[in-house]
């Protein structure tokens, strides 16, 4: 039995992209399903992708990776910095201890020190700075309840972090560590990385922390970010359009674990390391069990085209992905984009269905997928699955197939960007309810910025007058 269970419960987004303020709970399950599913719907440009980007930013931060510079451009134009706050439930299933962990941080846009100040604005380089990190923790163990309190706050300019009592518990009183950690704090900031989840800080607390609960909670988050949190953004769809299959996976067998995201070109063969071939075969065999049920009779396979040496003098196998249907084998590139999209995320959906401590966030899940199939897949995962699935979509079919508590909507109000509908009865069709709200605006917040078809038609005619 896995020792740790981590589940994202809540997110607050402030001044990030077009979201001045948005809050979403992922624990709005009215029927006590084991799975946690959230589908976010709304008008174009209303904050759906901001949620997925906030999840991607979380992964970079808690994995101790450098934050890409483009996140600096995601700070709202009217704000100096963005604030992200995430609430988690962590279960120690061996000792039966339940933790509540709240992690928040700010990001700001700073000039890259490698940029020449005499350069033009168009060539000026910026970077994303992570600062004001804060970690709060509470836990319950039987009758013992420890209230929520701050264990790390990096806001201080003169201290490594506060409060002092928690510093002594996590780091100890060794004065030699003060200089090292202060340098590490500054370097991680300059390097666009988290200090709390940096290798330098983690190494120190692993050696010196005297509170097992603090260390367990932080280690659980590190493991979760590296092994159980997956974010699939629209770049994946772009790769598919360019005849490349992005394949995200988490595969466990006995004591071995394979996690990754690889991009395989479909219009040509490609060499891969020999050890990777075995993992890929197992992943494909696993996917084929489900794939032939989703698309009757279809399976995929690997055509091995010989071995060669890589530039590192390692054995590589040249392969090409193929599809098998009606006893015929053709290159996978000739299948539809919808089939490719299903294949690219299928292994993760299998993991979501079977494992409780897994979070998969997918932007535009519906891209290219037949709406009836999409509705059935989400219905199955939401009612029978165990993990956490967060997705955005434009296809409204899932509104009719999954529990209404699993659906949220964007609004036209950037200061209250996400809502769930009120006054929905059991027999209401949420899809029809949503359409009616677009027209009549029955919720407290508007979910659609009105458009006028006659104004649109006139604009088309006016824009095309030069063609006459």
Cis bond upstream, residue 163 (ω within 30): yes
The predicted-structure confidence for 405-431, as pLDDT tens digits, reads as follows 899 999 999 999 999 888 777 777 788
- Lowest mean per-residue pLDDT among 109-123, 183-197, 350-364: 109-123
What's the 3-state SS for the chain? Answer: CCCEEEEEEEEEEEEECCEEEEEEECCCCCCCCCCEEEEEECCCCCCHHHHHHHHHHHHHHHCCCCCCHHHHHHECCCCCEEEEEEEEEEEECCCCEEEEEEEEEEEEEEECCCCCCCCCHHHCCEEEEEEEEEEEEEEEECCEEEEEEEEEECCCCCCCCECHHHHHHHCCCCCHHHHHHHHHHHHHHHCCCCCCCCHHHHHHHHHHCCCHHHHHHHHHHHHHHHHCEEEECCHHHHHHHCCEEEEEEEEEECCEEEEEEEEEECCCCEEEEHHHHHHHHHHHHHHHHHHHHHCCCCEEEEEEEEEEECCCCCEEEEEEEEEEECCEEEEHHHCCHHHHHHHHHHHHHHHHHHCCCCEEEECCCCCCCCHHHHHHHHHHHHHHCCCEEEEECCCCHHHHCCCHHHEEEECCCCCCCEECCCCCCCCCCHHHHHHHHHHHCCCCCCCCCCCCHHHHHHHHHHHCHHHC
Question: Per-residue pLDDT for 56 more than 70?
Answer: yes
The predicted-structure confidence for 372-384, as pLDDT tens digits, reads as follows 899 999 999 999 9
The predicted-structure confidence for 82-104, as pLDDT tens digits, reads as follows 999 999 999 998 888 999 999 99
Strands 328-331 and 244-253: unpaired
Query: 114 or 227: whose pLDDT is higher?
Result: 227
pLDDT on residue 1: 45
Domains of the chain (ranges, CATH numbers):
1-228+355-468 (3.40.50.300), 244-350 (no CATH)
What is the model's pTM?
A: 0.91
């Amino acid at each position: 039995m896995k020792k740790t269970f981590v589940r994202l419960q809540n997110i607050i987004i402030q001044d990030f992209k077009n979201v001045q303020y948005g809050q979403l709970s992922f624990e709005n399950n009215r029927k006590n399903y084991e799975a946690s599913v959230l589908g976010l719907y709304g008008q174009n440009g209303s904050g759906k992708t901001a949620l997925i980007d906030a999840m991607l930013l979380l992964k970079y931060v808690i994995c101790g990776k450098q934050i890409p510079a483009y996140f600096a451009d995601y700070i709202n134009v009217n704000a100096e910095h963005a604030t992200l706050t995430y609430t988690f439930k962590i279960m120690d299933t061996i000792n039966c201890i339940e933790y509540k962990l709240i992690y928040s941080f700010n990001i700001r846009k700073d000039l890259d020190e490698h940029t020449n100040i005499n350069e033009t604005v168009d060539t000026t380089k910026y970077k994303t700075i992570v600062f004001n990190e804060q970690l709060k923790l509470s836990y319950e163990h039987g009758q013992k309840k420890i209230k929520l309190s701050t264990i790390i706050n990096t806001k201080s300019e003169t201290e490594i972090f506060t409060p002092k009592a928690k510093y002594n518990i996590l780091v100890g009183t060794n004065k030699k560590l003060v200089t090292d950690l202060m340098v590490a704090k500054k370097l991680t900031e300059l390097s666009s990385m988290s200090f709390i989840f940096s290798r330098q800080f983690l190494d120190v607390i692993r050696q010196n922390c005297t509170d097992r609960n603090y260390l367990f909670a932080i280690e659980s988050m590190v493991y979760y970010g590296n092994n159980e949190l997956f974010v699939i953004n629209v770049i994946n769809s772009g790769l598919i359009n360019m005849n490349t299959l992005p394949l995200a996976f988490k595969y466990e067998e006995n004591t071995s674990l394979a996690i990754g995201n690889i991009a395989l070109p479909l219009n040509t063969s490609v060499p891969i390391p020999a050890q990777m071939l075995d993992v890929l075969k197992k992943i494909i065999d696993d996917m084929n069990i489900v794939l032939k049920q989703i698309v009757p009779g279809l399976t995929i396979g690997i055509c091995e085209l010989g071995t060669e040496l890589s530039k590192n003098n390692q054995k590589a196998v040249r392969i090409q992905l193929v599809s098998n249907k009606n006893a015929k084998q053709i290159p996978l590139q000739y299948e539809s984009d919808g089939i490719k999209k299903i294949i690219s995320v299928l292994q993760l959906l299998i993991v979501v269905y079977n494992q409780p401590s897994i979070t998969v966030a997918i932007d535009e899940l519906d891209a290219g997928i037949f709406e009836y199939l999409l509705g059935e897949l989400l219905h199955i995962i939401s009612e029978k699955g165990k993990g956490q699935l967060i997705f955005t979509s434009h296809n409204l079919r899932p509104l009719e197939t999954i529990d209404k508590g699993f659906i949220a909507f964007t609004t036209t109000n950037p200061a209250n960007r996400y809502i769930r509908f009120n006054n929905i009865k059991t027999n209401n069709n949420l899809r029809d309810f949503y359409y009616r709200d677009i027209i009549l605006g029955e919720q407290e917040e508007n979910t659609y910025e009105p458009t006028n078809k006659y104004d649109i038609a006139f604009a088309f005619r006016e824009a095309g007058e030069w063609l006459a």
